[in-house]
Amino acid sequence: MEKLSRLLITCFQRSTVQWLNSCALLCAFTLFLPVLVYAQSDSTTISSIRIPMHNPSRQLGPLNLFESQPGVRVHVGGNNHKETFFFLVDTGCTSTMINTNSAKSLGLTLGKESYIGLGAYSQFFSHRATLPWLKLGPLERQNVPVQVMDLSKADIIGDIDGILGVNFWQNYALTIDFEKNELQLNEDQKGKKHVWIIPATNDGQGRLYVGGIVNGVHHVRMLVDTCSPNTTMPYELATEIFADQIEKKKFHNSEWDINGGKAQAANFHTLSFQIGDYACTGLTINVTKNNEQGSNDCILGGDFLRNFRVTFDFPHQRLILEK
């Protein structure tokens, strides 16, 4: 009888301990469940972000240049109120810009004047400011540094509210899908049928440059610029590459700016063109001379980029082309 009593007491003690352990585990799980759920809901990465592009049709000179320039709707907040603006996505502009009138409507405080590059061929004076809040799709930023200037001075851009420059994108892999008319950030590149990964360098201000080979032998450094409608080359360099054609070609005065500087222009067709492992024939290059701003930079523009789904991988300094 005594042995039976001890056996019952032992079983009861073990059951009690197991029950208490189960309760403790359940309480701990219940206590940390919100943390686990929160961590899961917060695990959404930038790769899931897709942002529709908007390309309003605006006539500038002889060409409707906005057809090749990617733009987005952004929600911005200033010291006075919030507004929805149209910004261009410009990988050739070092800084995020906002038009003077838009900055005034937001009540931004302007800082000292500075000299800024807007594309390969253009430089302007602008004022520094801070945008308290900016929202692009689900992506939100606070205290965004911007440059304020009258963007109508750059005729190639026209009457817009602002520009999202490389300082806005440089921490992301920016994909521009011209066919779907949308932007994507940090999407996984696996499983694509035709992908070319092009090594790039930056100019110290974040803009990406790639090395091009024209007609098999001529190596050129090219700024990858989404807001340049054309692939362009300065006249001095073209005299070396197209030596047998340059004197016979008739140059026409352009009525609109080429990245900020009026110039005479003519089109030349390459026998071959290569960047990285991608090669093609018959690329049209817009050669400019007497450019007001003057630059030795070539530009890989929208006429080339629109043939691909393009990713600007700013952190790893590379350009990814997909077809």
To which CATH superfamily is domain 48-185 assigned?
A: Acid Proteases (2.40.70.10)
**Residue 138: CB partners within 8 Å, gap ≥ 6?**
49
| Range from 69-83, 158-172, 308-322 that averages highest in pLDDT | 308-322
What's the pTM value of the predicted model, to 2 decimals?
Answer: 0.68
- For residue 33, the model assigns a pLDDT of 29
Q: Do the beta carbons of residue 222 and residue 212 sit within 8 Å?
A: yes
12-21, 63-72, 168-177, 294-303: segment of lowest average pLDDT: 12-21
Average pLDDT over residues 224-241: 91
Q: 48-185 and 195-322 share one CATH topology?
A: yes
How far apart (Å, rounded) are the C-alpha atoms in residues 230 and 287? 10
- For residue 59, the model assigns a pLDDT of 35
Amino acid at 144: V
Q: Do the beta carbons of residue 205 and residue 92 sit within 8 Å?
A: no
Considering the chain, what is the average pLDDT of its residues?
76
Average pLDDT over residues 65-76: 74
238-252, 277-291, 292-306: segment of lowest average pLDDT: 292-306
Average pLDDT over residues 6-30: 47
Q: What tens digit of pLDDT does each residue of 164-221 get?
A: 988 888 888 888 888 888 888 774 445 556 899 999 999 888 999 999 999 999 999 9
Average pLDDT over residues 282-296: 76
Domain limits, the chain: 48-185, 195-322
- For residue 263, the model assigns a pLDDT of 75
Assess whether pLDDT exceeds 50 at residue 62: no
- Top-level CATH class of 195-322? mainly beta
Q: Do the beta carbons of residue 273 and residue 280 sit within 8 Å?
A: yes
How far apart (Å, rounded) are the C-alpha atoms in residues 90 and 299? 13
- Proportion of the chain above pLDDT 90, given as a percent: 30
